[in-house]
A and B are shown apart, each in its own frame.
Chain A
Amino acid sequence: MKQIYLDYAATTPTDQRVIEAMQPYFGEVFGNPSSLHSFGQEARSAVEAARMRIASFLGATPAEVVFTSGGTESDNFAIKGVAYANRKKGDHIITSAIEHPGVLETCRFLEREGFRVTYLPVDGEGLVDPDAVAGAITGKTILISIMHANNEIGTIQPISEIGRLARERDITFHTDAVQTFGHLPFTAAELNVDLLSTSAHKLYGPKGMGILFIRQGTRIVPFMNGGSQEGGRRASTLNVPGIVGFGKAVELAGQELAEEPKRMTALRDRLIGGLFSKLSGIRLNGHATRRLPNNINFSASQVEGEGMILSLDMLGIACSTGSACSSASVETSHVLTAIGLSREFAHGSLRVSLGRFTKESDIDAILEMLPQVVGRLRALSPDAAGRKDS
């Protein structure tokens, strides 16, 4: 059976060119970049080349790029680091209700540590209102953290606007840009951010690799204590192959950034258009236009998301849903709840996320299969049984 992967928002396949670039750094070039000898220096130069590449892609200086183990670490680093560095100045943090758990759970942790956190609501399309951000600021606010684009519904936030108002008030501003970095053109300066988290594996790079951009002059406490790597901000021997792979992934993304978002947008809109013409009783979740080029998230009435996932998986198509039975209980997506979906729609969501290796024929395949799948699942619902009886 042909398999079609449409879950790029969860992770992307590592690009073959990235794997090739990483290969030498598992074997031949094995030195510790912190060592003074030639083995170390060779590894070091590969690390710094990657750092330079990533920094220039972000419009940053190399010293502003700190390597981490991924997006969640970067979120933890940014939020805890700024909170602890500014404890004397204030104790209030502003974030949104639809952040990634890397941000939300870190904020909840800090609440237990005595900080106060405002979780701003979003509108029905998932947008944070900059006026609401401004309104939530108090004299004690030390950090604002709002994601660039939502991983579930794809809504892109007015980050540069929020960044501007944070800067006017001298409040540190962080964004989780895991879903946008390398997928949308921007620089850190354009977004007016002081801190930006991202990871490599959403960009055809290796898993377990991320960065935190820390604008020069930002007060932050080191995340890991130990050696003096990364200017003392993040101790731990550098993950050389991962860093090299991340650098290569960013190089490839840079080459494609002029065309790929347009191609994604066209495929996305083809799928959304097709779904609405073939299926009744569905709604698009998230914003129609202020939306990630590769994100489609919709809910269908009388259907459970997990049923769609499973049926599609049986047909070889991999997608994702907002409500899944994790371990003990059914967890409904906090994002779908925050945009005000009814229980039925919150449980009947499907996220389709596209990427570099998605072809038009893949879109057509899912457009052919999905109506059948939804039809079969709807025939099971009590409403359908009622109609049959009457």
Chain B
Amino acid sequence: MKKVAVAMSGGVDSAVAALLLRDDGHEVVGVTMCLGVTPAEGGRAKCCGPKEIEDAARVCRALGIRHYVIDFAADLEEKVIRPFVEEYCRGRTPNPCVACNRFIKFGSLLAKARAWGFDGISTGHYAGIEEDRGAYRLKTPKDRRKDQTYFLSAIPREALAKVLFPLAELTKDEVRGIAERAALPVFDKPESQDICFIPTEGHEAFLRGRGAPVEPGEIVDTAGKVLGRHRGIACYTIGQRGGLGISSPVPLYVLAIDAARNRLIVGEKRDLRSGSLVADQVNRLVDVFPEEAWAKIRYAHKAARCRVSYDGERLAVRFAEPQEAVSPGQSVVLYDEGTVLGGGIIKEVFRGTS
């Protein structure tokens, strides 16, 4: 790959990705996606705002590479933000980073970069790609604690041939070391953990600002007995403990969100476990899913042993051991050794394994 557009967020990871590719002899150009999150739209953006764009520009100047800021606001709005709000309205917990990678970074940005004359794109994700006789596989990175393959599970399979992940074999500490030795201006910049388009004013304010009904309603137990009131279902996630304003002899957890009745169902920790799930919007990064694999049901989840069946539309995952807080809207991602097999969006969750 000769000409590479590096998606630069203004952070240290993408800065080092660009540095490594440049030093490897690629013709590298930095591209920052302008997501159009302005103060007028309800607050200060934590990422991809003016400060981040300027940081990316500074890094590119330090690297001596060109830098472009490209408008992705309309794309992001249509393919990520609006679905994000709609999912919350349905009582689900979406993962916008999964959608952004699928539709924006490894969708429109890749397609645009190809049209602009680049051979492919690169990002500062901690992930790897392995090629074997023309077949590309998404791999987990060396730094297992930073593994970001969960967020990459939905990217189109054909994108793998046109993407470079230069941080595959590096730990975060090594990346910071490289940035510091190269005197990159962002070497000590703190990590951004949050969703980039949610302003600092917070999740709840953002959803309200977007017209999502954040209406108070009832908190009930599994038998339907009313235990208290909630602030609006969009403010809660499954598995959440506390913040419910209910006094109870045993700790209570959010077990489910009933959007139709605007209710939160709460219960004990043991009720939080699920034996199986069904996912849709399935993406395969391999020819066929094996019958047995390891599944992650959220980013910070430790992959769990499972059995897999896929009928071409719905993906059924049965865990060897029940898993806690499996949430509709999140992705289930399947792994086999270090290979990411693909995944889907969790649609339904079952207590048992059937």
Contact = CB atoms under 8 A, between A and B. Distances in A.
B36 A329 contact: yes
A85 interface: no
A343 to B, nearest CB: 10
B253 to A, nearest CB: 39
Given A306-B71, A310-B68, A328 B116 contact: no
A304 B36 CA distance: 16
B54 A327 contact: yes
A310 B70 contact: yes
B71 A328 contact: no
A315 interface: yes
A330 B68 contact: no
Given A307-B116, A379-B115, A325 B71 contact: yes
Interface string A312-341: 011100000001111111100000000000
A52 to B, nearest CB: 42
A376 B115 contact: yes
B117 to A, nearest CB: 4
Given A327-B54, A328-B49, A311 B115 contact: yes
Contacts of B39: 328
Given A314-B3, A379-B115, A380-B111, A328 B70 contact: no
A120 interface: no
Contacts of B68: 306, 310
A367 interface: no
A377 interface: yes
Interface string A143-165: 00000000000000000000000
B256 interface: no
Interface string A355-390: 000000000000000000000110110000000000
Contacts of A377: 115
Interface string B59-75: 00000001011110100
A194 B37 CA distance: 44
Interface string A208-221: 00000000000000
A306 B38 contact: no
A330 B115 contact: no
B341 interface: no
Interface size class of B (residues with CB under 8 A): 20 to 34
A75 B50 CA distance: 28
A315 B38 contact: no
Contacts of B36: 325, 328-330
Given A310-B68, A313-B66, A314-B3, A327 B50 contact: yes
Interface in B95-128: 108, 111-112, 115-118
A328 B37 contact: yes
Nearest to A313: B66
Contacts of A315: 117
B304 interface: no
Interface size class of A (residues with CB under 8 A): 20 to 34
B34 interface: yes
A329 B40 CA distance: 10
A222 B45 CA distance: 42
Contacts of A323: 71
Contact of B69 (A313, A314, A325, A380): A325
B53 interface: yes
B196 to A, nearest CB: 13
**Which of B36, B50, B117 counts the most A-chain CB atoms under 10 A from its CB?**
B117
A304 B38 CA distance: 21
A327 B112 contact: no
Nearest to A327: B50
A329 B112 contact: no
A310 B116 contact: yes
Contact of B115 (A307, A326, A328): A307
A332 to B, nearest CB: 10
A248 to B, nearest CB: 32
B34 A314 contact: no
Contacts of A380: 108, 111-112, 115
Contact of B70 (A306, A313, A329): A306
Interface in A260-314: 304, 306-307, 310-311, 313-314
Contacts of A326: 69
Nearest to B41: A329
Nearest to B117: A314
Contacts of A310: 68, 70, 116
A326 B54 CA distance: 10
Nearest to A330: B71
A314 B111 CA distance: 16
A302 to B, nearest CB: 12
A310 B36 CA distance: 19
A314 B116 contact: yes
B222 to A, nearest CB: 46
10 contacts: A306-B68, A307-B70, A307-B116, A310-B68, A314-B3, A324-B69, A325-B34, A328-B39, A377-B115, A379-B115
Given A328-B49, A330-B71, 16 more contacts: A304-B71, A306-B68, A307-B112, A307-B115, A307-B116, A310-B68, A311-B115, A311-B116, A325-B34, A325-B70, A327-B50, A327-B53, A328-B37, A329-B34, A377-B115, A380-B111
Interface of A: 304, 306-307, 310-311, 313-315, 323-330, 376-377, 379-380
The 3 closest A-B pairs by CB, nearest first: A325-B34, A327-B50, A314-B117
